[in-house]
Structure 1
Amino acid sequence: MSRIDELIEELAPQGVEFKTLGDIARLVRGNGMPKTDLTDQGVGAIHYGQIYTRYRVWTTKTISFVSPETATKLAKAEPGDIIITNTSENVEDVGKAVAWLGDEPIVTGGHATVIKHREDPKYLSYWFQSESFFVQKKALATGTKVIDVSAKQLMKVRIPVPPLEVQREIVRVLDKFTQLEAELEAELEARRRQYEHYRDEALSFGDTVRTVPLGDVIHNLRTGLNPRQNFKLNAPGAANQYITVRELAGFKIVPTDKTDLVDDEGLARIQTRSRLQIGDVLFSGTGTIGRTALVEEEPTNWNIKEGVYALTPKRDQISSRFLIHLLRSSVIRQRILGAADGSTVASVSMASLRRVLLPVPSLDEQERVTTLLDKFDALVNDLSVGLPAELAARRKQYEYYRDKLLTFEGAV
């Protein structure tokens, strides 16, 4: 019997009680605080967009700040509070939480909610990562292009609330897993930075090659389809994968058990618009701009959402793999991001993407550079070998134990 089982038997012999978030917490919806309000000093601030990319389960320091005057108008998070996101471009990211464990109050803004409670903050933040929460938020989420789970909806979520001593023991175990994962991530990130440096060097041609708009080296540029009135996601019998930005992984398409599904009729409707073919380059033009993948086989059981673009290269001018390396390079990414617009969800239009300038050397030079960069890319991104494989295995192990530790028998 584990220490956690012993504590539950001792402190909750009738089982763990489940309560709604509204029963155990007060929720304060944030407002305002565009990125233009963020500064390098002042009152600590967590922008909702940073929760997706810059924070883990908990933090003691903020990346950004706002002026004291601005802070007076914003939602405050006291030490121990949770800040959770309310909007995202996909169901997986909406409802991502971070526990604030610093010494001073901080602030947050729109598209985020402050959860004020009396539980262990890390326990709650870990639970918001769990499969149990994912299932519930998926049922509560609204919207297609922008996914929203409001503070009012979050209050309905049912959470297991074991005694505090049990919560702390669960946190102690999960902290060990996250520490090991963080160490592997840091090592892999160092290798990625090294790879990105070599990639950018290899793709720096100066004035020795021609520079042309992207639109000149592709036959056409299409996109997929959003559900709206066209089809329903995850309808009974749906078995085809609905590919969004989160499944685009460099050169590969990587579905997960959380990937949405679409039926055959819906798939056919999407293909009528996307017209995917082998050799197409996929590019995310909304939300997380710049993720890519290569279509390597006929899409018989999957297709793309609106906002994921399909580019068909003119193969006598540019290869698909070389184009992907270019689109992922720092210089070209900055050009693309510079052409983006949108406030809630950033996007780059197909017309703007066509105008982005690319260096296009000879096909022989493209092949030489691609061969070199493919080898480096495999070292830092191939999930079947080396550090990426070790990190993937560690994540899978962590997710298994996290969900196991956060699953309880209900009170009798």
Structure 2
Amino acid sequence: MDSIVDVRDGTHDSPSPTESGKYLITSRHLLPYAVDRSDAYFISETDYEKANERSKVEYGDILFSMIGTIGIISFITDKEIDFAIKNVGLFRTSQNPNIRYFILSYLKSKIEENYIASYMAGSTQSYVSLNVLRKIPLILPPNDVLQHFEKQVAPLYARMIENTHEISKLNDLKDVITTSMSSR
């Protein structure tokens, strides 16, 4: 994998929470096509910049949970990134958008799930190392096959992303209505 796409992980530091600033995202905040900021805490601009020296997340990147619940995959669809990551794998597919959906699909495959399961470590809390993510076996098909694949799946992913965002908006609306009705 690391010969095809840049693979990194987030900060290992524990920045202190602040009243405002940028969010710190961990594995528990990963959603399929977004991150859940609702219970993430803020970190200072200085800590945010320090974390991003190592692992700046961009639109079209893929995040991968490495500790605890392993293998949660989040494709980043935010145009503006207001968060840094901690102990989360980062596949920098933003740097090669021609293969982002191929990599995303591969990471979500049963083959990949079995590979990761075979390399999990930790007795108290499961984890997978950055080296394991970097060494994921992956053979790219020829360019014409990749282009055809990307062309075919891009509209499907666009629809899934749109549906996921719509569901999120509807859930937020449901929460507002429920809160409003219960306060009467």
What TM-score, normalized by structure 2, do the two folds share? 0.76
Partner of 2:149: 369
**Identity of counterpart residues, as a percentage?**
20
1:12-411 superposed matches below 5 A: 214-218=1-5, 220-228=6-14, 231-233=15-17, 235-236=18-19, 238-250=20-32, 252-276=33-57, 280-290=61-71, 291-294=73-76, 299=81, 301-305=82-86, 307-312=87-92, 315=96, 319-383=99-163, 389=166, 391-404=167-180
Question: Structure 1 stretches of 5 or more lacking a match?
Answer: 1-213
* Higher CA-based Rg: 1
Q: Which runs of 4+ in 1 moved over 6 A?
A: 405-408
Whole-Å Cα distance in 2 between the matches of residues 268 and 393 of structure 1? 30
Higher RCO (CA < 8 A, seq sep 6+): 2
Give the deviation of 1:294 after TM superposition: 3.8
Give the deviation of 1:403 after TM superposition: 4.3
Q: Is the 8 A contact 1:241 1:255 kept in 2?
A: no
Instruction: Provide, for residues 310-368 of structure 1, a one-character-per-residue CA deviation record: whole Å limited to 9, x for no partner.
Output: 2345849x723321121112222222222222344322111122222223112331222
Give the structure with the higher percent helix: 2
Q: 3-state DSSP class of the match of 1:288?
A: coil
Q: Is the 8 A contact 1:239 1:262 kept in 2?
A: yes
Give the structure with the higher percent strand: 1
Whole-Å Cα distance in 2 between the matches of residues 336 and 266 of structure 1? 30
Distance verdict in 2 for CA 1:393–1:224, change over 3 Å: closer
Q: Is the 8 A contact 2:10 2:84 kept in 1?
A: yes
Q: Is the 8 A contact 1:339 1:353 kept in 2?
A: no
Give the deviation of 1:253 after TM superposition: 3.1
What TM-score, normalized by structure 1, do the two folds share? 0.38
Distance verdict in 2 for CA 1:380–1:280, change over 3 Å: closer
- The code of the aligned residue for 2:52 comes to Q
Whole-Å Cα distance in 1 between the matches of residues 24 and 124 of structure 2? 23
